[in-house]
Structure 1
Amino acid sequence: MTRATLLPTSTRGPVRALGAVSVSLLSIPMGISIASAATLPPPPTKPLPAELDIAPKYQEGYRCLDGNRPGPVAFAELLNAHYGKHVYGVNRRCALEHGEGRALDWMVNANTAAGLELGNAITRWLSNPDSEGRPGAMARRLGINYIIWNRQMWRAYDPGRGWAPYSGSSPHTDHIHISFTWDGAYQQTSWWTGKALLAVRYTGPTTNAGTPVPVTTPVLTASGYPLLKRGDTGKDVMLAQGVLGLAKDGSFGPATETTLKSWQSRNGVAVTGQLDNATWTKMIGLGLVPARNATAVGPLSAYVNTTIRKGSTGPAVSALQKALGGLAVDGNFGPATETKVKAFQSAHGISPTGVVATSTWNALIEATKPAAPHPLAQYADLVLKRGSSGAPVVALQKALKITADGAFGPGTESAVIAYQKSKGINPTGVVASATWKALMGQGSTTPTPPVPPPTPAPAPATPAALSTEFTPYKSTVLQTGSKGTAVRVLQAGLGGIAVDGSFGLATKRAVMALQTRWGLPATGVANIKVWNRLELEVHPLVPYWGTVAKRGSSGDAVVALQKALRLPADGTFGPGTEGAVKMAQQKARLARTGVVGTLTWKAIEKQM
């Protein structure tokens, strides 16, 4: 074993600004070799259950604890046994997940061919889909929350973003950073136990004693906040401690209970010593905590890590009832809901316990998934005519059952005219909305009056401040064989492939992976829909760059802002949101105005 102690630090920045491990402590010693590309062994393997572990939400580190948790150490030793010994470090006091002993820095040099090959092999083994197409399956089996390597970041809690660009203070080119969930940190997942973990079990110790704290599912009150009492832990406890003027350690102990009783007495609330519905409601009414809508129903994917059963209440129950159908959506898990759950579980090969955990949520998500879009839907906004070329023309020709050469010539025009006549569409030979709809089985067969071929209006210019690196190339269609600057921009955005300006097999596969993530036909051709989706992956806040948000604002932009700042997303820009914005502005060396304009949106995006 080659282990190093990480330097202590008092700075705890956002995830995307983790400090680099000290090179003097963690550089690879002379004589320790990295497996070369030619001799790189296949990844570690072992018998594993068919069922997959849960992928919990991001578990941010905020405690200052001593010592290393066993999971990161065991994983580092697994890599060392398999690939040769490398220096690694775990605990760096008060530094996010490092400060809790559940983040691993495993040293490997991305600036050498062998090091890059090894780092890519390990990180892609963890993040790639398994044989059943489940993204990041191995990361879930090891209890990994996120990975940073070679200027890119992959999130197990948001795998749809893929390997996104990372712009923190360290490029992570000399080590792989792996943050573990608490269950991964305590080896509770299937790689270590042989049994899939289907619900979050631990939230971590609150002191240096190192004993993990089992997770309990608190009852959700009508206020939208959980019922909390002595012994409970978490961010909502910290929120209340801030109201009470206590140190925000997230642990509901005797001091919190005593101070809470005094607060309840002063504010005319029943003195229970618990954070109950009446207490939360009073705090909301006084503007001390943000309002939460307990009856709002979110997408089912928001609850995959939530376990509910008879007696549970709140939005997760409402979402369940809506998905099951035939029930009153009242947010109360009663006998009728339990009966429906058991019937659904039996019909889907799940043990009919009446308890809704990850496997049942996933089955509900699959059962309620909307039908896949028609393969031609991505082209429905395009106008094609003689002289057009590319993937849309290929799709058109295939739909017309003629030779698909991608060139809209006289033969294609004749076939279009014949098809338009057969469907009662003005036979112009130009493929616009009505023809696309007919090809997708949506069009009317009633003849329409002749109209001249439509000329698309030029797209409005995008202001420079709202442009991204992708904006100049959105009208460019790229495919196998394409070369040049546009290909380089595409490759840099996709990440994990060589940025050589040549559209080859690796680039095509990366494009297809993106298309699959977003539910687009996996053609491997980069068209405007691919550019737009890639832009959203690299710049998730770009839809709001042109929006100004400040105290008193509300709506979708505020929800997106609050999620980016990891605040309760209630859609109302209040004092808490303003304070978090000012902190983000300070970190980005912007004026601390609390007003979110283009520069602040971009700064917050970099800190995500």
Structure 2
Amino acid sequence: MSIYRGPYYSANKCSGFARPGNKALMSWYLGAYGDRGAANLGIYVCKSLGSGISIHGDGRACDLGTAPYNRPGSGWPAWGWALANALRLNSAELGIQLIIFNGKVWSCRYPDSGWRDYDGSDPHDGHLHVELTPSSAASLTVAKIQSIIGGGSSPITIGEDDMIGLKRGDEGEEVKALQYVLADAGFDPGEKDGQYGPKVAAALLAARRSLGSSATDGDNLTAAAYAQLLRALIKKQAPATTPPSSTQVAAAVAAYLKANPVKLPENVQFSGGTLTGVKAK
């Protein structure tokens, strides 16, 4: 376990692809944290950044999504910081040159300064931005990451703050995470304000009962039950509605005009679901 104190490698052109080491990091991450809401928020994208090219453009940066409801900027699970520190403290072995998370940055340019305030436009609240050195981006493997940090088919053990329990009256980002997941699964938790009140309790009880739980109230949620519920509700998210077809739209418009006759402007006609003679302003 050691901190990387080597040079920082910038990018001056786009590679056109994600480097194998970064693919390995993302693969490891999704395998280790998949049942906690981990998401792939991107590796390669060719874009300018200041006077140069984003490290994403060289295929050497990963965005590891930590928000269990995949809404960057809305919150993150407690394990996000534990993971960020594990990567920082093993950055020499892993070949990591920079990490940004929750408004903080660690960089090999200031290797022993710990986490400093990040003044970029995106605070990276919902994901870890992790950059690899060129050699690590070319050679890092899932097996190596597992041998250094752990992981694999089971989530990494990170201590007591892994996933906190919740109870009525609590507030904060963990509650907000729960509110978003409940809403996405079709259970109304009220305003997504991070407040564990009666609406959250009622939605939580309905969600747990729908999943086969014998729970009789929604006032408390242990750490283990919280993790299990997040996994189940993310799978149960309400499907997106299918937009109406053009034929359905035309029929609806025709039915409306029949029930509510409208005198159309001169030279404008409605036939077969299509308006003709309309000029755009």
TM-score greater than 0.5 by the shorter chain: no
Larger radius of gyration: 1
Q: Which has the higher contact order (CA 8 A, sep 6+)?
A: 2
Give me the TM-score of the superposition, normalised by structure 2. 0.43
Question: More strand by proportion, 1 or 2?
Answer: 2
